[in-house]
Amino acid sequence: MKKAILIGSGVAGLATSIRLALKGYKTHVFEVNSYPGGKLSAFELEGYRFDAGPSLFTMPQFVTELFELAGEDFKVHFNYHKKKIACNYFWSDNTSFSAYSDRNDFLKEVENTFGEPQKNVDKYLKKAKKKYDLTSSLFLEQSLHKLKTYLSKETLKAMLQLPVFELHKTLHQANSQAFSSSKLIQLFDRYATYNGSDPYQTSGIMTLIQHLEGTYGTFVPEGGMVSITNALYDLALRLGVTFDFQTPVDEIITKENMIQGVRVKNTFFDADIVVSNMDIYPTYKKLLPAQKLPKKQLSQERSSSAVIFYWGIQHNFKELELHNIFFSDDYKEEFHAIFNKKTVSDDPTIYVNITSKDIPGDAPEGCENWFVMINTPADSGQDWEKIVKQLRAFILSKLSKELNIDLEPLIVCEALLTPPLIETKTQSHMGALYGSSSNNSMAAFLRHPNFSNHLKNLYFCGGSVHPGGGIPLCLLSAKIVDELIPEA
């Protein structure tokens, strides 16, 4: 029986282990942490449960597909429901907006709140869908680094409609030309943060992200986001995948440009293939010390990172939903601070996620579990203790004013995550949440491929390689790796 070794059990690693087990490989996963899931994990604090990392669940078909491939009914192991309201948005002038999942309700609410004609938004979303339909098979579902990807009818069709993609515009420019409302422009600019980028730099093609959320909706997994990890981990176990936790891989062993296996604690484990779900930067720097570095890929600008406060709140806020955004008054300065000044602006946007709105057991009765996130630059040696202190004071001041209540006395417990801690816990280089940013219009082509050009039988999955970060793209990276690897 052929052997496959995976390094890391993030969501992409779990999905890849399932796919390889189904292909007939004896699959062994080594994980540095004591738990699976990487960023997609959870913890409890004084009666409050918190999802530690990703909080947005969309395109659930990429999760359920794995159960279908295994011949299982996903509903037996994993359940979720669709949100009626995807997100509540708040501005400092007391404007608020509920983004309904239903298209007609969304369009009506946009017109009522922002005065933007429904036909303008509908036209914009249809164009975003066209971008996705033309590019998904090329940019998301196949390797960009194989010639056969470009020798297809789909690629030719996409090339003939290049103006549709708005590659020569930034996302902000595309949104500004589509709408007259500055608040609606800001709302749609926010989607750049879904892959850790800057709407004032990233390409106008990124409007397709709005199509994905608007078409597929926003969902809540029963048991929280970590239930995605738990369901996939249990499926992998049922398929015979072996996991070793708290077991870092020390080196990927090669011979004459061929993968031999890995070295773990002075023990050699042979393998026919090795897949790294570890961030691409430490994969090369730590595990392949003798190999030539892919300097162009490793030197790409890092995506944004985050400071996250986990607060147990002894109060119930009826005006808040699962997802909530309190916008900055100067969005351009916020991103200029992150990507140019490598710091945090004086008025950053605040994201508040409250899973107890949909999962009552996540907080004591009458209380809420707050996941409060501020987008930040990746770690390049900033004084994070100072930044955290300033952010905490700002968040408490702004939200107390917005919600008309003194917030600090309501906090009964607290935990913290910073860019350096993200790097320590997940091996993500500089604590960047999505690997490299997508600010460069050629970013998709500059991401590392899902295979090695120099070492046979070495593959890569996860948010730091093609097609990018976020749960759906990580799961697609596993699918691409699956298609690249032959049956056992």
The per-residue pLDDT for range 367-392, each reduced to its tens digit, is 999 999 999 999 999 999 999 999 99
Lowest mean pLDDT among 151-160, 205-214, 259-268, 336-345: 151-160
Integer Cα distance of 197 and 304 in angstroms: 7
As its CATH architecture, domain 120-216 has Orthogonal Bundle (1.10)
Question: What number of other Cβ atoms are within 10 A of residue 333's Cβ?
Answer: 16
Helix (H) or strand (E) holding 332: helix 331-339
Lowest mean pLDDT among 155-169, 211-225, 300-314, 447-461: 155-169
Integer Cα distance of 187 and 183 in angstroms: 6
Residue with token string 């390797």: 143
| Res. 142 pLDDT band, cuts 50 70 90 | low
> Which one has a higher pLDDT value, 169 or 167?
169
Q: Does the 3-41+224-300+440-484 domain belong in CATH 3.50.50.60?
A: yes
Integer Cα distance of 24 and 36 in angstroms: 22
- Helix 182-189 × helix 103-114 angle, to 10°: 140
| pLDDT single digits (tens) 40-70 | 999 999 999 999 999 999 999 999 999 999 9
H-assigned helices in 190-240: 208-216, 226-238
| Res. 161 pLDDT band, cuts 50 70 90 | low
Q: What is the largest CA-CA distance in the chain?
A: 67
Q: CATH 3.50.50.60 residue ranges in the chain?
A: 3-41+224-300+440-484
| Stretch 127-140: mean pLDDT | 77
User: What pLDDT, on a 0 to 100 scale, did the predictor assign at position 147?
Assistant: 46
Q: CATH 1.10.405 residue ranges in the chain?
A: 120-216
Q: What is the pTM of this model?
A: 0.94
Helix (H) or strand (E) holding 255: strand 251-255
Integer Cα distance of 170 and 201 in angstroms: 5
User: What pLDDT, on a 0 to 100 scale, did the predictor assign at position 150?
Assistant: 41
Lowest mean pLDDT among 105-114, 152-161, 347-356, 420-429: 152-161
User: What pLDDT, on a 0 to 100 scale, did the predictor assign at position 444?
Assistant: 58
Integer Cα distance of 287 and 7 in angstroms: 10
**How does the average pLDDT of the chain come out, rounded?**
92
| Res. 440 pLDDT band, cuts 50 70 90 | confident
Question: Hey, CA dihedral for 55, 56, 62, 67, is it positive or negative?
Answer: positive
**219 SS3 class:** strand
User: What pLDDT, on a 0 to 100 scale, did the predictor assign at position 46?
Assistant: 97
Helix (H) or strand (E) holding 403: helix 384-403
| Res. 475 pLDDT band, cuts 50 70 90 | very high
CA 475 to chain centre: 10
**49 SS3 class:** strand
Is residue 462 within 8 A of residue 12, CB to CB? The reply is yes
| Res. 16 pLDDT band, cuts 50 70 90 | very high
Lowest mean pLDDT among 159-163, 323-327, 470-474: 159-163
User: What pLDDT, on a 0 to 100 scale, did the predictor assign at position 107?
Assistant: 96
Q: Percentage of the chain with pLDDT > 70? A: 93
| Stretch 75-79: mean pLDDT | 96
User: What pLDDT, on a 0 to 100 scale, did the predictor assign at position 211?
Assistant: 78
Give the 3-state DSSP-derived string for the chain, with helices as H, strands as E and coil as C. Answer: CCEEEEECCEHHHHHHHHHHHHCCCEEEEECCCCCCECCCCEEEECCEEEECCCCCECCCHHHHHHHHHCCCCHHHHCCEEECCEEEEEECCCCCEEEEECCHHHHHHHHHHHHCCCHHHHHHHHHHHHHHHHHHHHHHHCCCCCCHHHCCCHHHHHHHCCHHHHCCCCEHHHHHHHHCCCHHHHHHHHHHHHHHCCCCCCCEHHHHHHHHHHHHHCCEEECCCCHHHHHHHHHHHHHCCCEEECCCCCCEEEEECCEEEEEEECCEEEECCEEEECCCHHHHHHHHCCCCCCCHHHHCCCECCEEEEEEEEECCCCCCCCCEEEECCCCHHHHHHHHHCCCCCCCCCCEEEECHHHCCHHHCCCCCEEEEEEEEECCCCCCCHHHHHHHHHHHHHHHHHHHHCCCCHHHEEEEEEECHHHHHHHHCCHHHCCCCECCCCCCHHHHCECCECCCCECEEECCCCECCCCCHHHHHHHHHHHHHHCCCC
User: What pLDDT, on a 0 to 100 scale, did the predictor assign at position 255?
Assistant: 94
Is residue 50 within 8 A of residue 27, CB to CB? The reply is no
